[in-house]
Amino acid sequence: MALLAISGVCFAQAPAQSPDLRIVALQPDGAKSNFATDAAPLAGSAPLAAPLVSLSKDYRVGPNDLIDIEIMDLDNMKRTVRVNAAGMISLPLIGAVQVAGSTSQELETRIADRYREKYLQNPQISVFIKEFTTERITVEGAVTKPGIFPLTGQITLLRALALAGGFGPIANSTEVMLFRVNEKRVREVAVYDVNKIRSGTADDPVIKGDDLIVVQRDSTRALLKDSVFRDVLDSINPFSVFGR
């Protein structure tokens, strides 16, 4: 195994002395990483449109997901429906349809078959998953409320950090690590400087299902906090083990 290090400079073709992010992928020699496609460009590069969250074709609908359904043959009828706790939705003419556990492509076929039985000869159905709640992200490290959070719709790194209550008192906002398993089941990690994202000199990367965000501690501030804590204990109890 080899470490493949990719700098954000490569993608923006900016000078190498001021990278905005570092990406390291643990994968075989010569393998190419696609993780950087969601990364922010460097300051001074052409601005990019905010990317949309893209679901895998294998994503399976779950309860509370929000789905857009378009039926071309019924005067281009469109419905936005929420999947109930039983994994069902209701549509005109055909009533209840079981959707939980199916991909969007499977739903298009199933709904078309239901309409074809009695009402339409060649129904054209389009299914788009607007909000998805069965995927999760994890935020841990030096944040106020570390934990596992549902991924609903589009979310970026800053929004994910906000879900976790923001940075803790000893957080290092210049080293926020984003771990992701790519399509080849290879674990990759990108390191982001949140200060640059906030200032607008770097884009806010899109977060995907099963991403792990780790906020590193600022070693200097952590050392100072530990030192102050030890001094307080020593002043209360000079025989404390912390004073040895």
Structure tokens at 136: 């999760």
**How sure is the predictor about 21, in pLDDT bands with cuts at 50, 70 and 90?**
very low
Predicted local confidence at residue 56, as pLDDT: 56
**How sure is the predictor about 241, in pLDDT bands with cuts at 50, 70 and 90?**
very low
Q: Is the pLDDT of residue 35 over 90?
A: no
Q: What is the mean pLDDT of residues 94-102?
A: 93
Among residues 188, 207, 183, 211, the alpha carbon closest in space to that of 58 is found at 183
Predicted local confidence at residue 160, as pLDDT: 95
For residue 222, the SS3 value is helix
Predicted local confidence at residue 236, as pLDDT: 55
**How sure is the predictor about 23, in pLDDT bands with cuts at 50, 70 and 90?**
very low
Where would I find the beta strands (DSSP E) of the chain? Answer: 2-7, 21-27, 66-71, 77-82, 88-91, 95-98, 125-131, 136-141, 147-150, 171-181, 187-192, 212-217
User: The domain 66-131 belongs to what CATH superfamily?
Assistant: wza like domain (3.30.1950.10)
The more confidently predicted of residues 28 and 96 is: 96
Q: Please, how many CA atoms are within 13 Å of residue 120, restricted to the half-sphere of its CB?
A: 18
Residue 141 φ/ψ, nearest 5 degrees: 95, -145
Q: What is the DSSP code string of 6-73?
A: EEHHHHHT--TTS-SEEEEEEE-TT----GGGGSPPPTTSPP-PPPPP---TT----TT-EEEEEETT
* Domain residue ranges in the chain: 2-43+135-221, 66-131
Predicted local confidence at residue 235, as pLDDT: 54
Predicted local confidence at residue 163, as pLDDT: 92
Domains 2-43+135-221 and 66-131 share a fold: no
Dump pLDDT digits (tens) for 125-134.
999 988 877 7
112: CB partners within 8 A, 6+ apart: 123, 124, 125
Residue tagged 């990759």 (tokens): 188
Q: Which of 118-122, 127-131, 164-168 ranks highest by mean pLDDT?
A: 164-168
CB 11 within 8 A of CB 41: yes
**How sure is the predictor about 152, in pLDDT bands with cuts at 50, 70 and 90?**
confident
**How sure is the predictor about 51, in pLDDT bands with cuts at 50, 70 and 90?**
very low
Predicted local confidence at residue 136, as pLDDT: 84
Tell me which fold the domain 2-43+135-221 belongs to: Outer membrane lipoprotein wza fold like (3.10.560)
Predicted local confidence at residue 66, as pLDDT: 92
**In whole angstroms, what is the distance from residue 210 CA to residue 166 CA?**
20
**In whole angstroms, what is the distance from residue 25 CA to residue 185 CA?**
11
Q: Is the pLDDT of residue 161 over 60?
A: yes
Angle among Cα 184, 190, 192 to the nearest 5 degrees reads 155
Q: Is the pLDDT of residue 24 over 80?
A: no
Dump pLDDT digits (tens) for 177-219.
999 988 788 889 999 999 999 999 999 999 988 899 999 998 7
**How sure is the predictor about 113, in pLDDT bands with cuts at 50, 70 and 90?**
very high
